[in-house]
């Protein structure tokens, strides 16, 4: 048995659902999930569908037939994925280890249906962690003088390993435009605050000084505008005047792990669809 996941957005009009479902019915598929949403303001239709087939399906031929018989008729932007191939995910990390440990633990327990061919870091601190999980580790230092060359090396490695998307597990460097251009809406970052909020490297210290009552974390796709990409997942926890900076940091790190893992999982399961710097998440 094989499964196909379809993501669609297109101008809203009548007949879309009927034509899409009929296409899979004629191919003897069994639709096990379907959800749709209409952005009334922009008159845009969004849809996610999962369909199972009793026999192996030629994904290339199915894509071509769908394009000719359905997609072109409705001027669709669409993606079709088969579950026969695991997505290949690269992890970027610096010195903080909590998100890395969490991601790798979920990976090893088969919670994340991906293959991780490499970990890239601008420091050597977490090389042993990668070795413990049996994943190749690449140390690529990044300085003001070497950042362009570093980006070239990173991209070469990613292309060599046929990486589908990247997860920034607290990677404390600005991603170069060249890398973002090669992986549009395929680089997931965890931001240590509830965006939009406190900028900089120490948001919990700023939150403490302001006496905030909640702190949060945000996973989002990376764009050229820093920390302003489409939001995938967010969560918060309540705090009070009795909590210290250390308490805020510990609570924040717990949130970061959970929110990043959810964002990554949504992406792996093809539940996210980006439109106009906004993410539609089918959950």
Which residues are part of the catalytic machinery?
227
| Structure-block tokens of residue 122 | 């601008």
Q: For residue 184, how far is the Cα from the chain centroid?
A: 11
Q: Name residues whose C-beta falls within 8 Å of residue 216's C-beta, 6 or more positions apart in sequence.
A: 193, 194, 197, 234, 235, 236, 237, 255
Tell me, rounded to whole angstroms, the distance of Cα 76 from its chain centroid: 22
| Alpha-carbon distance values, 232 to 134, 182, 219, 256, 279 (Å) | 29, 20, 6, 13, 6
The Cα-based distances of 235 to 38, 54, 93, 121, 190 in angstroms read: 25, 39, 22, 27, 12
CA-angle at 31, arms to 283 and 267, nearest 5°: 35
Burial grade of 122 (CB within 10 A; 0-12, 13-18, 19 or more): buried
For residue 214, report the phi and psi dihedrals to the nearest 5 degrees. Answer: -140, 150
Provide the CA 156 distance to its chain's centre, in angstroms. Answer: 21
Rounded distance, CA 188 to CA 261, Å? 10
**Angle between helix 98-108 and helix 245-268 axes, rounded to 10 deg:** 40
């Amino acid at each position: 048995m094989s499964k196909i996941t379809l993501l669609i957005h297109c101008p809203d009009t009548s007949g879309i659902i009927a034509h899409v479902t009929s296409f899979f019915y004629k191919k003897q598929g069994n639709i096990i999930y379907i959800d749709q949403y209409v952005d009334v303001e922009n008159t845009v239709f969004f849809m996610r569908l999962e369909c199972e087939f009793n026999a192996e399906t030629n994904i290339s031929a199915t894509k071509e037939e769908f394009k000719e018989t359905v997609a072109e008729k409705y001027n669709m932007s669409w993606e079709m994925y088969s579950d026969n191939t695991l997505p290949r995910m690269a992890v970027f990390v610096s010195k903080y280890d909590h998100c890395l440990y969490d991601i790798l633990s979920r990976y090893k327990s088969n919670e994340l249906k991906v293959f991780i061919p490499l970990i890239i870091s601008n420091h050597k601190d977490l090389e042993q962690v990668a070795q413990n999980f049996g994943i190749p580790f690449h140390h690529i230092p990044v300085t003001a003088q070497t950042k362009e060359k570093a980006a070239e090396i990173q991209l070469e490695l990613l292309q060599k390993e046929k990486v589908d998307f990247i997860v920034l597990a607290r990677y404390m460097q600005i991603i170069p435009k060249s890398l973002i251009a090669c992986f549009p809406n395929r680089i997931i970052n965890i931001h240590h605050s509830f965006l939009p909020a406190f900028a900089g490297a120490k948001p919990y210290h700023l939150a403490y000084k302001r006496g905030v009552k909640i702190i949060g974390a945000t996973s989002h796709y990376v764009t050229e505008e820093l920390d302003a990409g489409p939001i995938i997942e967010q969560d918060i926890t309540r705090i009070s005047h009795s909590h210290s900076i250390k308490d805020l940091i510990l609570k924040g790190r717990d949130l970061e792990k959970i929110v990043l893992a959810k964002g990554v999982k949504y992406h792996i399961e093809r539940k996210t669809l980006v439109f106009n710097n906004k993410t539609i998440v089918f959950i």
